[in-house]
Amino acid sequence: MKNENKKSKVNVRMIAGSGILTAVSIVLQFLEFSIPIVPSFLKFDFSDLPALIGAFAYGPAAGVIISLIKNVVHIPIGATSFVGPLSNFLLAACFTAVAGYIYRLKKTRGNAFIAGAIGAVTMGLFSVVVNYFIIYPLYYSVLGFPENAVLGLYKVVMPSLTSVTDGLIIFNVPFTIVKGLAVVAISMLIYKPLSPILHGKNK
């Protein structure tokens, strides 16, 4: 009976903590901004931060679920129908799942950084596959974007660019990795103070 009560309390705490992190993630996604040195459609935001913290605190599945709910909420209010949120979800899910899984193997501060860094790099590389085979084809078929228009957005920043693939490698990969590493850096500062609260150990 005691074990059941303890398990029930843990589940309630996990659901409540994940709910709060999801709400924060939704708000943070509204605070996106552009960076002049990359194409305008690449937006920087910190909405993956609560998802990463959730993955560290409750496991990789929590990070993926937080990312999913955040993007489902943004579908009706986004400018790209479901395509933009789908891209954000796939990359965030990759990031938090990889980082959360590696951190779960050894829950130390050092491994948290390693896990986050590996997750960020994996997300950056995964962005090429996701965009080339899923997201950009959806832009062309669902939203009616001509391929040369997407290439044109890259060429605004780098006129010498000749293909979308080059744009993905030159811009999307480093941008996505840096975005992930920025989230990791902040998580390293705030996860330890938040951890007792998320696990119900605060006094």
Residue 108 belongs to a domain: yes
More confident: 199 or 88: 88
Prediction pTM value: 0.92
Instruction: Tell me what pLDDT residue 78 has.
Output: 82
pLDDT digits (tens, 9 = 90+) for 118-170: 999 999 999 999 999 999 999 999 988 888 899 999 999 999 999 999 999 99
Residue 39 belongs to a domain: no
Q: What is the mean pLDDT of residues 6-21?
A: 83
Give the CATH number, domain containing residue 152.
1.10.1760.20
Residue 203 belongs to a domain: no
Instruction: Tell me what pLDDT residue 80 has.
Output: 86
Q: What is the mean pLDDT of residues 40-59?
A: 97
Q: Which domain holds residue 176?
A: 2-30+44-198
Q: How many CB atoms lie within 10 A of CB 199?
A: 14
Residue 110 belongs to a domain: yes
pLDDT digits (tens, 9 = 90+) for 47-56: 999 999 999 9
Q: Rounded to whole angstroms, how far apart are CA atoms 170 and 25?
A: 28
pLDDT digits (tens, 9 = 90+) for 100-119: 999 999 999 999 999 999 99
Residue 144 belongs to a domain: yes
Instruction: Tell me what pLDDT residue 132 has.
Output: 96
Q: How many CB atoms lie within 10 A of CB 179?
A: 23
Q: What is the mean pLDDT of residues 60-87?
A: 95
Residue 37 belongs to a domain: no
In the chain, pLDDT over 70 holds for what percent of residues? 94
How far from 199 is each of 43, 54, 56, 58, 158, CA to CA, in Å? 32, 11, 11, 9, 47
Provide the number of structural domains found in the chain: 1
Residue 165 belongs to a domain: yes
Residue 186 belongs to a domain: yes
